[in-house]
Amino acid sequence: MRARFIGGIALAALLAGCGPEKPAETPPASPPTGGQPAAAAPALTQADLDAVPKATKDYKIALIVKTKNNPFFIPMIHEFEETAKQLGAVPEVQAAAQESSYEQQVALVQAEVGKGVQAILITPADSKALVPALKQAADKGVLIINLDNRLDPATVKSQGLKLGGYVGADNEAGGKQAGAAMIEALPGGGDVAVIEGIRGVDNAETRKRGFESAVNSKLKVVDEQTGNWETDAAYGKAQAILAKHPTLAGIFCANDNMALGAIKAVDEAGKKGKIKVVGYDNIPAAKELLQSGAMTATIEQHPDLMGKYGVRMAVGILDGKVTSGGEFLVPLETIKHK
Amino acid sequence: MQSDPGQNDASISRAGAAEPAGADGQSRDIRRIVAVARPWMVLLLVCAAFSLHPTFRSVFWRQEYLSGIVGQSARNIVLAVGLTFVIVTGGIDLSVGSILALSGVAIGMTLTGSPRFPFWLALLTALPISAAIALLAARPLARSNRATAAAAFVIVLVLLELGAGTIIFKGVAGGVKVEGAILIGLAIGISSGLINGVIVANGGVPPFVATLGMMSAARGLTLYATSSQSVSVPFERFRALGSGIPLMAVTLVVAVCGGLLLLKHRAGRYMLAVGGNEQAALLSGVPVAATKILAYGLSGLCAAIGGVLITAKFGTANTGAGTGAELEAIAAVVIGGASLSGGQGTIVGAVVGALTITVITNGLVLVGIEPNLQQVILGGVIVLTVFLDQIQRRKK
């Protein structure tokens, strides 16, 4: 189902210990240029998108994010606006009230089409339910670029939606990078536990899956609990996990908010630094914890770059400088305790 | 109010209205003992059931784990104490988790000075004291002319709000001391609670709706004030409040003060009277609206104390803090024997209820129940407890 490939990211491939790379269906958009390492075929490279010149017209480009309630989207919005202005396009940002309000997103798509935008960048709240509305927009000549949460390829195909492209990150690859960081921190092997996000949510599941597939042969996952993305919940779960598994060597938390809770529990158990905690997201609070060694590593997913290269892709396609239908995966970065 | 009806009429206090007045004083005593003992029995039963499992037995009963359980429960205990006041008046407060987060980020912003503490939060901070002074100023007028009194109240309130708000806004620029930040956080909690109370008591909006609105609004304001970013609070003196003895001490003080207020103070008995039978309370001269407003204000205060503890504990004021906490706290109060229709409930019960929930969530991890099933079991235990309580109450 998940025809994911890790491309365009030398860094990710190196650190993740390489998942199986599946060739994607679309042909290469353009040959890799500059000094960029050749990656999986259809991916656009950073150099391709960096080479996009100023827009020939003042295109109106809308970004529709899931919600402004999630700090993840804030740098995305910021970079989207900055880059659009640099390129001479007119940015507009819309957001639904809640992470899951896909119906509201449908209405926003229709409203933006009505306003006469040339392109819509969207992080869909639902990977299937948004497709019909986007198809209507595309039929009216609006360029659709999918950011972050990927639209379901089967639905896109069956409804005949022609996407301008995809810019996002691979959460599973990020989970693998987290796993690689954990393996590196525990050269002698050991037992690890996973505190995951809300069950059934795509990025929670893919991060966990990535982590577990990466540590599979080297470390033993002895417990999985959900902290619902929340610090205090993760703290309680971590206390119980630590008591249950006295030989535990590491905890992977699927976001940094939960890692804060796990770190507090580890600290109180008198095992600071001995039990390795790996987080995800690189929130501001992680900096201090990485410095002190309370946190071993975290994954930076660069939502800012999704905003930036989303606009660059849109302007490039509108001006015929970039081929439609390609995709760009932003580099994931493992940030480690020095 | 001139007289003190609550003090004179003992039948109004403690579940008075719920029990039929009869000669069977002895069986009523027994029932009261059962009601007090029930939360403890539930807790013991839960512990005993989990102790059948060897991992739980070997891990749980160690002293450091037990103190960890109390530390983990601190947030729910504090929230449950506040909620008890509201629930015994027959109300509900769904906004405590959001108020916790709002107070938390307010403390973070005033301590670090970044992001800047906004003016509207300064207005919210100034509200309790402004309202109190305006009330005192307008009160003498109320005997002669209600309309003038109301006008005076509004004018004084607005002037004080603007004055005090500006002073606070200027005062906190660049960061304040730990004590000041905590006071600001608590004031914001009280304000949010008072607003709930006024909307419920004077506005006639059902508590569920009023506090649901506040739940959404306070969470939104939390995100708006911080541009959705959590605030780091790297101050050791503040962070010390969040663990070990200070954490336990604050929790204990909140519980003891709450217990004394509800049992021994006139205001607490008014709350029970209002929840037991609002009409009867009104006719006996209980200031029903003021009592309700006080209950919601105290709930807001307790939520803010929860915000202090959580922010200190993790050294971060998280915008998502306390999400879903209101449901756990309500469950704690209910397991503790309070009636959601009002008139019944104790602080000790709420504390024991909060501990029970923590034991259940920890126990399910220790005995290795699959995470998806953990929620099912927790939900089942809550409903079962209330169900058994209902059966017991129906028996003569």
Q: What is the pLDDT of residue A1?
A: 37
> Do A105 and A193 have their domain in common?
no
Contact A264 B232 (CB under 8 A): no
Q: What is the pLDDT of residue B21?
A: 47
Given the DSSP bridges, would you call strands B231-232 and A90-96 parallel, antiparallel or unpaired?
unpaired
Percentage of chain B lying above the pLDDT 70 cut: 93
**pLDDT confidence tier of residue A40, bands split at 50, 70 and 90:** very low
CATH number of the domain where residue A112 is located: 3.40.50.2300
Question: Mean of the pLDDT values across residues A28-55?
Answer: 60
CA distance B267 to B284: 14
Given the DSSP bridges, would you call strands A119-122 and A143-147 parallel, antiparallel or unpaired?
parallel
> Do A101 and A246 have their domain in common?
no
CA distance B127 to B165: 8
CA distances from B141 to A167, B155, B285 (A): 67, 13, 21
Nearest in space to A55 (alpha carbons), one of A334, A292, A304, A315: A315
Is the bond preceding A37 in cis, omega lying within 30 degrees of 0? no
Residues of B near A (CB-CB distance < 8 A)? Answer: 55, 59-60, 62, 65, 68, 71-72, 75, 219, 223, 227-230, 232, 234, 243, 310, 313-316, 318-325, 358, 361-362, 365-366, 368, 371-372
Given the DSSP bridges, would you call strands A60-67 and A119-122 parallel, antiparallel or unpaired?
parallel
> Do A130 and A264 have their domain in common?
no
The pTM score is: 0.81
> Do A177 and A295 have their domain in common?
yes
Q: DSSP characters for B36-50?
A: HHHHHHHHHHHHHHH
Confirm whether A334 is domain-assigned: no
Q: What is the pLDDT of residue A22?
A: 35
Predicted confidence (pLDDT) at residue A262 exceeds the cutoff of 70: yes
Q: What is the pLDDT of residue B279?
A: 93
Confirm whether A86 is domain-assigned: yes
CA distance B162 to A81: 36
- pLDDT tens-place string over residues B271-320: 999 999 999 999 999 999 999 999 999 999 999 999 999 999 998 898 88
Contact B223 A68 (CB under 8 A): yes
**pLDDT confidence tier of residue B24, bands split at 50, 70 and 90:** low
CA distances from B229 to A268, B216, B318, B320 (A): 26, 18, 8, 10
Count structural domains, chain A. Answer: 2
Confirm whether A85 is domain-assigned: yes
Nearest in space to B332 (alpha carbons), one of B307, B312, B358, B302: B358
**pLDDT confidence tier of residue A271, bands split at 50, 70 and 90:** very high
Q: What is the pLDDT of residue A199?
A: 84
> Do A278 and A248 have their domain in common?
yes
> Do A11 and A153 have their domain in common?
yes
Q: What is the pLDDT of residue B2?
A: 40
- For tokens 């209205």, name the residue: B17
> Do A125 and A183 have their domain in common?
no
Beta bridge partners of A96: A67
- Average model confidence (pLDDT) across chain A: 85
> Do A11 and A133 have their domain in common?
yes
Question: Mean of the pLDDT values across residues B354-379?
Answer: 92
Task: Write the burial class of residue A36 (CB in 10 Å: 0-12 exposed, 13-18 middle, 19+ buried).
Answer: middle
Confirm whether A34 is domain-assigned: no
> Do A270 and A315 have their domain in common?
no
> Do A282 and A225 have their domain in common?
yes
Confirm whether A335 is domain-assigned: no
Confirm whether A120 is domain-assigned: yes
> Do A307 and A225 have their domain in common?
no
Q: DSSP characters for A58-109?
A: --EEEEEEEETTSTTHHHHHHHHHHHHHHHT-EEEEEEESSTT-HHHHHHHH
**pLDDT confidence tier of residue B25, bands split at 50, 70 and 90:** low
> Do A263 and A215 have their domain in common?
yes
Predicted confidence (pLDDT) at residue B8 exceeds the cutoff of 70: no
Q: Which residue in B67, B314, B373 has the most chain A C-beta atoms within 10 A of its own C-beta, making it the best mutation to test that interface?
A: B314
Contact B315 A68 (CB under 8 A): no
Confirm whether A58 is domain-assigned: yes
Instruction: Tell me the residue type at A28.
Output: P
Q: Which domain holds residue A256?
A: 171-300
Question: Mean of the pLDDT values across residues B11-29?
Answer: 53
Confirm whether A203 is domain-assigned: yes
Nearest in space to A62 (alpha carbons), one of A82, A84, A104, A91: A91
